[in-house]
Chain A
């Protein structure tokens, strides 16, 4: 323990993105009573500026990477990648929220403050190199997201979604904590690198059964957070009931952050006991892909279908984790970036179409969208093709790298079953395309309003990103490759 506990200026710079977000979130809450009702859009502008500043700060922090606050945080390529990713998701979510908040006559100040606070938590999660910090980041992010899920207080579906999310989320956190407590007990530390050192030393390594129990408990907690089967039960209900822009946000941002924690804990601290946890991840990956894809086949509600599809995509990322290699980690990072863009984009289209009170959410409400709004339909088509994994989209290379990593780690069966699953998934994505282009415009598509500026930005930016990742994947992949060794 250093005698001088005051953080150096380099450490504060490494923590600057979180500082900006927290200060701006608090600033919005202070400003809220002063300008309430007069100019509701100002809060959205402020939060977008705050997130852009935080992205700049994250990139700046990476020019001088290293640990901060006695090794509690570790600013490395991996952390920077995920910081920029979750902040980008935040910007897209805010862009798609302007019209929604206006339409539902909801308070804007609290909404944007909560998004910023949730992002603080996610940034702490992806940077933390220490189980206490991971826990704190996870809770900052989760508690803000629980509130966001129930943001429309008078909507019964939103109430129910928030309640289910809260109960199962805090139950999962409790499990995670119990695992953490056991790890602390047997290793005497909560620092990931130190845990790795204890577990890999054969003379000091604690009993395998105890380590196994702790790892299994932490796996349960994290699998809940990333909606991996068999702990995915909450996801469809919550994604369906929550306001659509919030669903877009929480199915991409907190999920990517939870995966970052998953990768960091399991690939640094627990890497040396990998043969023990690989079967757990293997089974969970297969179950997530299968349950997600087959349940999505029969859904009529578009949000619920996308929720099941997001469970299936969590399964693909778990395949990359099961590969237990640096290539697997890099593939997971690439996939999460591609997934974040297509998922936010697809939910933004749903938010655009659903109308006041989110009444128009069934598959048939997309009928004839290709005729009425060719641009919206074309953008949704890009996202759906990327979901399927068609070449020239980010989704294609994401799947390609994941299955390549799995094959290199001799997970032949998992790869085969994963590819079969992708074929099944194509069916329900194509079904949306068929309804959109082949059917006559229905009541819902005729009533749809023109695209607002914020929503067009929230659709066009991820569409461009999807193409960039699909045509020039190497730049991002090289960065992911370089970052996949973490700071260790």
Chain B
């Protein structure tokens, strides 16, 4: 069996990116959209760590840790905003949030 190379990780990351983008663009539930954004951030992390281990340079791993911390902060704020919206509008579906438009 062939060993797993950096290229495999990059392929996995690209696939996660595409799944994430498709999720953001097509899903109605805002919770699933949030999950899709997390998926893209994890695709970035895989990329960074693969590059880091490929070039024996620790900077990418440090960057990945910052991204993990940021993703947590972002999810906390995002869910808070979502709860505020749910209390007022009783919905978490993106297409029912349509007060502001031209």
Bound CA span A171–B78, Å: 12
CB neighbours (8 Å) of A225 from chain B are: none
Q: In chain A, what residue has the closest Cβ to B85?
A: A159
| Contact present for A147 and B77 (CB under 8 Å) | yes
CB distance from B11 to the nearest CB of A (A): 13
Bound CA span A240–B101, Å: 9
Identify the B interface with A (CB < 8 A): 17, 20, 24, 30, 33-34, 37, 40-41, 43-44, 47-48, 50-51, 54-55, 57, 59-60, 62-63, 66-67, 70, 73-74, 77-78, 80-82, 84-85, 88-89, 97, 99-102
Residue tally, chain A, CB below 8 Å to B: 41
Q: When A163-B85, A177-B67, A185-B51 are in contact, do A171 and B102 touch as well, CB less than 8 Å?
A: no
Bound CA span A190–B52, Å: 12
| Contact present for A190 and B63 (CB under 8 Å) | yes
Q: In chain A, what residue has the closest Cβ to B41?
A: A174
Q: When A166-B77, A178-B40 are in contact, do A156 and B70 touch as well, CB less than 8 Å?
A: no
| Contact present for B100 and A166 (CB under 8 Å) | no
* A224 touches B (CB below 8 Å): no
| Contact present for A163 and B97 (CB under 8 Å) | yes
* A461 touches B (CB below 8 Å): no
Q: In chain B, what residue has the closest Cβ to A152?
A: B84
- Which residues of chain A from 115 to 147 have a CB within 8 Å of any chain B CB? 132, 135-136, 139, 143, 146-147
Q: When A136-B70, A188-B55 are in contact, do A163 and B81 touch as well, CB less than 8 Å?
A: yes
| Contact present for B63 and A184 (CB under 8 Å) | yes
* A76 touches B (CB below 8 Å): no
| Contact present for A160 and B100 (CB under 8 Å) | yes
Bound CA span A277–B99, Å: 37
| Contact present for B78 and A170 (CB under 8 Å) | yes
- Which residues of chain A from 368 to 399 have a CB within 8 Å of any chain B CB? none
Bound CA span A300–B101, Å: 12
For A159, give its contact among B43, B59, B81 (CB under 8 Å): B81
Bound CA span A189–B51, Å: 11
* A182 touches B (CB below 8 Å): yes
Bound CA span A147–B77, Å: 7
